[in-house]
């Protein structure tokens, strides 16, 4: 059983055993993500200004002969979509700028018996996975999200842990963690057969 708080304290104090791999969040990940949000918001604002000043309308079936009421409808739709994109960029910027402030608190601790993922200073930001409780673990990518799909031993319930690139390549890390789980299961089975 992994005690998440004790593990985090030990890793934070630099007293992690050699069998642990402690990965800290890279502040550059949050900085570039926040800059990406700014760029996205500015691009949406620039597109809205261009459409407004040029009188260009983007829509299905819009041409020079389009009636005014249909053209107005598509113009309003264009502005709403671009406003939503600009707001999304601002929200993304604020989100990653706030996370940048807690980058020192974020870490991924890989251990032979599982891992602890800390995405922020709060208790709710901590995820602990004990390999002994996981029957299967498979890396997956769905809708751009890099995941570890798990089936819980005994109950058969499914669980997921998502990773992003704040600790390094998320795909590489999910493959490494799945390999560690496979090694743990193989070692556990081998020791159980030895005892029989």
Per-residue pLDDT 10s for the chain (196 aa) are 889 999 999 998 889 999 999 999 998 999 999 999 999 999 999 999 998 898 888 877 677 777 888 888 888 999 999 999 999 999 999 999 988 888 888 999 999 999 999 998 888 889 999 999 999 999 999 988 899 999 998 888 999 999 999 999 999 999 999 999 999 988 875 554 444 4
pLDDT of residue 193: 47
Res 99: pLDDT = 86
Residues paired with residue 146 on neighbouring β-strands, in sequence order? 141, 163
Query: What is the number of alpha carbons within 13 Å of residue 27 lying toward its C-beta?
Result: 6
CB 129 within 8 A of CB 150: yes
**pLDDT (0 to 100) of residue 65:** 77
pLDDT attached to residue 33: 92
Question: What is the DSSP code string of 1-49?
Answer: ---HHHHHHHHHTT---TT-EEEEPPHHHHHHHHHHHHHHHHHHHHHHH
pLDDT at position 196, please? 43
C-alpha triplet 174, 39, 77: angle, nearest 5°: 105
- 21: burial class by Cβ within 10 Å (0-12, 13-18, 19+)? middle
Give SS3 for 92: helix
Cα 145–chain centre separation:
6
């Amino acid at each position: 059983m992994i005690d998440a708080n004790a593990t985090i304290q030990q890793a934070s104090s630099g007293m992690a055993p050699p069998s642990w791999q402690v990965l800290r969040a890279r502040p550059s990940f949050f900085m570039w993500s926040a800059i990406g949000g700014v760029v996205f918001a500015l691009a949406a604002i620039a597109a809205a200004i261009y459409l407004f000043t040029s009188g260009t309308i983007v829509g299905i079936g819009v041409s020079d002969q389009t009636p005014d009421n249909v053209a107005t409808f598509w113009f309003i739709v264009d502005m709403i979509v671009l406003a939503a994109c600009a707001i999304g960029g601002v929200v993304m910027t604020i989100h990653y700028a706030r996370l940048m402030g807690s980058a020192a608190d974020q870490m991924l601790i890989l251990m032979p018996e599982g891992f602890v993922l800390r995405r922020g200073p709060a208790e709710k930001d901590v995820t602990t996975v004990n390999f002994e409780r996981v029957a299967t673990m498979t890396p997956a990518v769905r809708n751009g999200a890099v995941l570890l799909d798990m089936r819980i031993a005994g109950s058969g319930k499914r669980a997921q842990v998502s990773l992003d690139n704040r600790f390094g390549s998320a795909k590489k890390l999910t493959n490494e963690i799945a390999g560690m789980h496979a090694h743990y299961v193989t070692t556990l089975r081998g020791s159980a057969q030895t005892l029989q």
